[in-house]
């Protein structure tokens, strides 16, 4: 299973991209929470650096985690 094999990579704040040659499917994974992982599955080969996919995944993860809201609440932040 992809999540179990890539657990160390998923614990970082970044995303993980994996292309399965057997089913010709690209998986993008990003950890939202300790128990929640967002997965985008594409039925073709996608670039690991696809700016639209990566941007969406990172932006969505930040909003779900509440990073932007918490950063505005820090003292001294304008």
Domains and CATH numbers, the chain: 2-72 (3.30.450.240)
**CA-based nearest residue to 29, from 9, 49, 52, 59:** 9
Whether residue 73 has pLDDT greater than 80: no
Q: Is the pLDDT of residue 67 over 80?
A: no
User: Cα separations (Å) of 22 from 6, 9, 11, 17?
Assistant: 18, 22, 26, 16
Residue 65 has pLDDT above 80, yes or no: yes
pTM of the entire predicted model: 0.78
- What is the per-residue pLDDT across 6-56, written as a single tens digit (0 to 9) for each? 777 787 778 999 999 999 999 999 999 888 999 999 999 999 999 999 999
Cβ neighbours of 12 (radius 10 Å): 10
């Amino acid at each position: 299973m992809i999540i179990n094999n890539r657990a160390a990579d998923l614990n970082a704040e970044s995303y993980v991209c994996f292309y399965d040659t057997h089913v010709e499917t690209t998986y993008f994974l990003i950890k939202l929470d300790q128990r929640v992982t967002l997965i985008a599955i594409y039925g073709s080969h996608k670039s690991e650096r696809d700016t639209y996919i990566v941007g969406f995944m990172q932006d969505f993860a930040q909003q779900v985690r509440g990073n932007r809201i918490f950063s505005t609440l820090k003292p001294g932040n304008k």
